[in-house]
Structure 1
Amino acid sequence: MTETQKKSLDDLVREELGAEPSQEAKDYARLLYERYRLPEAPGTAGEDAAAGE
C-alpha cells in the first residue's frame, strides 16, 4: 500500500487545507470520496479483512 492509501480521509483533508477542516468541509470531502472512488481491485477485500485482525 502507498502512504496515501494508509491515510484517512480526514488526514488528507487536513493536509490539503493546512488546518483542521470544518464539519461542512469534512462532509463535502466524504461526499466526493464516496461519489468518485474507484472500485476495489479483485482480491483486495480479503487482504483488508485479514489485515484488520
Structure 2
Amino acid sequence: MTPLHILIARLKRLPAKHRIAHLRSLVAAEKPYSQRRSELEDLLQVEILKQLRREIRAA
C-alpha cells in the first residue's frame, strides 16, 4: 500500500476535479473505520472545500 504522503504528492499533479474523484474512489476501496480511510476522508473534505471556495470566488 502506498504511503499517504507519497499519494498526496502524486495527486497534487492532477486537476482538482480529478483529484477529488480519485480520493473518492480510494476512500470507497478502504475498509470502514480504518485509520487510512479516515485520513483519506479528511483529505477529501479539504479538497472539496477548496473547490467550493474557487467556485464561489468565480461567481
Q: TM-score, normalised by structure 1?
A: 0.41
Structure with larger Rg: 1
Q: TM-score, normalised by structure 2?
A: 0.38
